[in-house]
């Protein structure tokens, strides 16, 4: 075969003779790339672009899910905050109601004694009987002190006792040979304590020899 015929055959078949064999060059219509395209496989560049797009879409989806979760958590936080505020307000109202009506039971016990006192005063006016009035008042006084004791309220015993600034308030000083120094010799007004807490000190005169 002469050179002219050989060149015509190369153009016709698309093959180029090489020195070491009849294998076609890479990139020629019969090379590996052509085989990949013939088999329906995308080039590596297109695969990488597709993977990048999928990654971006996944990130967008993850971000949207995170936004939805954050909005839901914030809504739950606002609801919990409102519930806590309502509980606080309700507790404050309950406390105010308790303080306002904490003495209701004792007042209910005292009201009948007030009724008895009014009745005793009315009877005394009608009958002009001071002895009956005094007896009635004494009975009512005893009933009231019993009610106070039932509530933990007691008189402070002070006459003849050493002066104690925690329980007694001095109004005057006097002299008495019958009592030691700093002893209470007269009570001007009774003091009271409630469950061992002083709610009103006794007003007293203290022995202070000159």
The dihedral built from the CA positions of residue 12, 13, 18 and 20, taken in this order, carries a sign that is negative
CATH architecture type of domain 154-210: Roll (2.30)
Q: Report percent pLDDT > 70 for the chain.
A: 75
Q: Please give the Cα distance from 70 to 59 (Å, whole number).
A: 16
* Cβ contact 203:169 at 8 Å: yes
Tokens of 96: 């105010």
pLDDT at 47: 62
* Cβ contact 188:204 at 8 Å: yes
Q: Write the pLDDT tens digit of every residue in 110-131.
A: 889 889 888 888 888 887 778 8
Q: Which residues make Cβ contacts (< 8 Å) with residue 150, sequence separation at least 6?
A: 109
pLDDT at 16 over 60: no
pLDDT at 18: 43
pLDDT at 69: 93
* Cβ contact 164:206 at 8 Å: no
pLDDT at 15: 45
- CA 88 centroid distance within chain: 7
* Cβ contact 205:188 at 8 Å: yes
Average pLDDT for residues 164-169, to the nearest whole number?
95
Q: Write the pLDDT tens digit of every residue in 60-108.
A: 888 999 999 999 999 999 999 999 999 999 999 999 888 888 888 888 8
Q: Where are the domains of the chain?
A: 55-102, 103-151, 154-210
Q: Taking Cα atoms as reference points, which of 165, 176, 164, 167 lies closest to residue 207?
A: 176
Average pLDDT for residues 7-31, to the nearest whole number?
47
pLDDT at 25 over 60: no
* Cβ contact 153:199 at 8 Å: yes
Classified as helix, coil or strand, 172 is strand
Q: Write the pLDDT tens digit of every residue in 54-73.
A: 777 888 888 999 999 999 99
Strand runs labelled E in the chain:
153-155, 168-174, 184-189, 192-194, 197-200, 202-207
Q: Angle at the Cα of 30 (from 26 to 32), degrees rounded to 5? A: 50
Q: What is the mean pLDDT of the chain?
A: 80
């Amino acid at each position: 075969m002469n050179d002219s015929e050989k060149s015509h055959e190369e153009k016709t078949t698309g093959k180029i003779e090489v020195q070491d064999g009849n294998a076609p060059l890479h990139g020629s219509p019969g090379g590996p790339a052509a085989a990949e395209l013939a088999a329906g496989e995308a080039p590596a560049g297109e695969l990488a672009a597709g993977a990048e797009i999928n990654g971006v879409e996944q990130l967008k989806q993850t971000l949207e899910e995170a936004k939805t979760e954050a909005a839901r958590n914030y809504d739950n936080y606002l609801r919990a905050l409102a519930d806590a505020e309502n509980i606080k307000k309700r507790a404050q109202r309950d406390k105010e109601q308790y303080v306002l009506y904490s003495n209701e039971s004792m007042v209910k016990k005292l009201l009948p004694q007030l009724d008895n006192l009014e009745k005793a005063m009315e009877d005394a006016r009608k009958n002009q009987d001071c002895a009956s009035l005094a007896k009635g008042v004494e009975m009512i006084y005893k009933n009231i002190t019993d009610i106070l004791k039932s509530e933990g309220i007691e008189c402070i015993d002070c006459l003849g006792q050493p002066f104690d600034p925690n329980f007694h308030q001095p109004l005057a000083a006097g002299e008495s040979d019958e009592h030691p120094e700093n002893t209470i010799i007269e009570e001007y007004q009774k003091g009271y304590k409630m469950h061992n807490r002083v709610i009103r000190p006794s007003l007293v005169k203290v022995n202070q020899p000159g």
